[in-house]
Structures are given as structure tokens and as C-alpha cells.
Amino acid sequence: MKKTRLATCLANILDHFDTSLYGFLVPILAPLFFPKNDQIIILLQGYGIMIVGFITRPLGAWYFSKKADAKGPHQVLTTTVLGMTMTTLCFTLLCPYESWGVGSAAGLCFLRGMQNFFGAGETSIAGLYILENSEPSQQHPLTSIYLSSTMIGILLACFVSSILFYSDMPQMYWKWPFYGSIFTGFAGWWLRRQNSLKTFHKKTFNKKSDWKTIIKLIPITGFSYMLYSIPFVFFNSFASLVTNIEMKDLMTSNTALMMVDLGLLALFGHILRNVSAQRILQFILILSMVIIPFLFLVMPQMNLMVSMFIRLIFIILGVAFCIPLHRWYMEKIPEQNRYSTTAIGYAIGSEIFGRSFPAVGLALWHMTQQVVMPGIYIVFLGILAFLSISSLPKQLKVRYK
């Protein structure tokens, strides 16, 4: 069991390196793949490509989670990591707008769609997979380890992206990180192939997905994803527009804050191990709705140090919300359709509210010229998430020692 969990986490590191590259490289890729236009419009187009995930990610979640419920998750996870490797590598075949015209943006859109299709089977399934056959007191620490592996992969992608931002001609070298996917992706696939599912004894079922619960999961998972996308993706573009802080400095601080995030994941996993998952989630939602609008109001006056402090607050909120979420799934969702229910709910929520937030947040600010508008949008989603968390009954009675 330990070897299987270790392989899952190692493969998860490699997988998130591949899938995180696009988000960090949007400021470089958008001017290459879209017609020359206003800087904000170009960024909106670059982040807007992620909208294709509204279709492909739920489809991927439905397809792979159904297979996981029926046949077990290991075979599915081996397939998803290979699929993401191939689609990430195909980014290197694309040519800029000057060569392909609208075909360059179409190719970018197609590959992001396929990456989301395979990625939907990875993100939700793997997080629950490592919690199987574990005691409730161990589930927060195990979730911390899994989320740490996710952050290591994102950190590697951020580090490589930062090197490009500091180069003299980043537009000439943007393909090199994607070439690295052939090594990282196939390494993750090989690790999973070496570990069978013999140590896990999951009863397999083939029942319909619980769409009532899926609908309630959408704002919860969207809020969780949004908290992480704000400090590491959205903040870079937004702060460079409303302050005098340079993009390269923001990317460098990104790497430092991700290392802090790793430490917080390990710390919070042990601190929260015996605390009710639902109580943590409700408390973080209330705290977020109170302080986030204020954080957006002070952004135009911030310097680099203040920006790091504000992003650190978002990171603390994100870590404290993400860690108990997987145990909450285990308590609230029946085993017979847990993979399909959580995967579909996460896929739809992360796309509608999470991945779309950089584009939505920038659009709200651009239309209103009010820096607090993205914060108000977050509060609205937080209210929906709080109501959803409070309305789901417990399926399992858990004793916290």
C-alpha cells in the first residue's frame, strides 16, 4: 500500500508539472497565438482558451470516474498520465499566429481541451485513491502529502517559467518546457505501471452518479480551486496591471511562495488531523468572505513586499480549505459512486469557477474599473459553497480522537 501511494504521489508531481505550464506561460504565449491587440484583451484571450475545459473536463471526469467506480482507479490513472503526456508534448508542434493565422489559436484550444479531458480523470481520482483503507486520523496527513506532491509539480513548472521570463527572448524558447514533458510524463506512467492495485481491496460498483450531490459540489470545488489560482496565476497578471510591480518580479516571488505553501501543507495536515472536516471548511469560508474584498481594495497601493503578504494570506486560506476537503468527500459521499460524483463535481466546479477566474476577474475589473469586483465575485461563490457544505448529510460517522 505504501509503495502504491508513493508511486501515485511521484506520478502526480510529474503530471502537474506538465499541466501547469500553460497557465504560467500565458503572458508569453498569448501575444504569439492571438492577433496584436490591447494587452488586457490579449491576456483575456489567452486565459479564455481555458474555457474549452467547460466541455472537455466534465466529459473526461464522467468517462474516467465511471471506469474507476467499475474497475478500480489504478488502470484509469495509468491511462490519464499517458494521455496528458502526449497532449502536452504536442504543444511543441504549434506555430504562432504569424505562420498559421487563426489555426494557431484553434490548435492551442484543441490541445488544452484534450489536456483537460485526461486531467479530469487524474485530479479527483488520485486524491481519493490514496485515502482508501486509511484511518480517519491519517486522512488529513495523507491529503497533505498528496497536495504537497501537486505543489512540487506546480513549483517545478513555475521555476522553469520564471527562467523564461528572465531570458532576453522568451518568445524564442517557450517550447523547451513542453519538450520536458516527454521525460516527466513517461516517468510518471512508468511509476504507475510498476505498482498494481493488489494492496487495495476496493469493492467495485456500477451505479448512476448522484447528480443532486454533484450540483452541490460545484461551488465547493470551484471555491477551492479559485483560492489556489488567485495567488499563483491570477495575481501575476492583475498586479502587473494595477501596480508598478514588474511581471518578472511577480514570477520570482511565485516560486518563493510555493515553497512556503509546501511547508504549510505539511504543517496543517498534522495540526488539523483530529478536527472535524466540515467545521474547518465552514470557518475558512466565513473568514474568506470577510477579508478577501478588503485585500482587493488595497492592491493598487501595494509594493512587492505587500503583494507577497497578500498572496500569503490567500495561500493560507487555500491550504486550510483544501486539506479537509478530501476527508469530507469520504464522509459525505457513498462508496458506490464516490469517484464519479466527486470527479464530475470537481471537473465542473473547477472549470466554471476555478480555472475561469483569471479571465472572469480581469473582465470584471476591465468593465467596471473597480479593483474590488473580483473580490465581490469570490464572496458570492463563498456563500454558495457555504450553503452547499451545510446541506449535505453525513454518510459515515467519524470519531475524532
Q: How far apart are CA 116 and CA 53, in angstroms?
A: 6
Q: Looking at the domain assignment, is residue 396 inside a domain?
A: no
pLDDT at 293: 94
Q: Does the pLDDT of residue 208 top 70, yes or no?
A: no
**At CA 70, angle to CA 16 and CA 52, rounded to 5?**
40
Q: Looking at the domain assignment, is residue 400 inside a domain?
A: no
34 Cβ contact partners less than 8 Å away, ≥ 6 residues apart: 42, 45, 46, 97, 105
pLDDT in tens, 213-227: 889 999 999 999 898
pLDDT in tens, 307-335: 889 999 999 999 999 888 888 988 888 87
pLDDT in tens, 231-262: 887 887 788 888 888 777 777 787 788 888 88
Average pLDDT over residues 337-349: 85
Question: Which domain, by its residues, includes 213?
Answer: 2-391
Count structural domains, the chain.
1
CATH code of the domain containing 387: 1.20.1250.20
Nearest one of 284, 288, 299, 309 to 372, comparing CA atoms: 299
Q: Looking at the domain assignment, is residue 362 inside a domain?
A: yes
pLDDT in tens, 132-149: 767 777 777 888 888 888
Q: Looking at the domain assignment, is residue 307 inside a domain?
A: yes
Look at 293 and 41; give whichever has higher pLDDT: 293
Q: Looking at the domain assignment, is residue 330 inside a domain?
A: yes
| Helix residue ranges per DSSP H, 73-210 | 73-90, 97-100, 102-129, 136-166, 170-173, 176-179, 181-193
- φ/ψ region of 210 (left if φ > 0, alpha if ψ in -120 to 50, else beta) reads beta
Q: Looking at the domain assignment, is residue 398 inside a domain?
A: no
pLDDT at 201: 44
How much of the chain, in percent, has pLDDT values that exceed 90? Answer: 17
Q: How far apart are CA 378 and CA 374, in angstroms?
A: 6
Average pLDDT over residues 82-98: 87
Q: Looking at the domain assignment, is residue 214 inside a domain?
A: yes
Q: How far apart are CA 122 and CA 128, in angstroms?
A: 10
Q: Looking at the domain assignment, is residue 397 inside a domain?
A: no
pLDDT at 401: 46
pLDDT at 1: 59
pLDDT at 3: 66
> 71-75, 103-107, 117-121, 171-175: lowest mean pLDDT where?
71-75
Q: How far apart are CA 193 and CA 195, in angstroms?
A: 6
Report the chain's mean pLDDT, rounded to a whole number. 82
Q: How far apart are CA 222 and CA 252, in angstroms?
A: 27
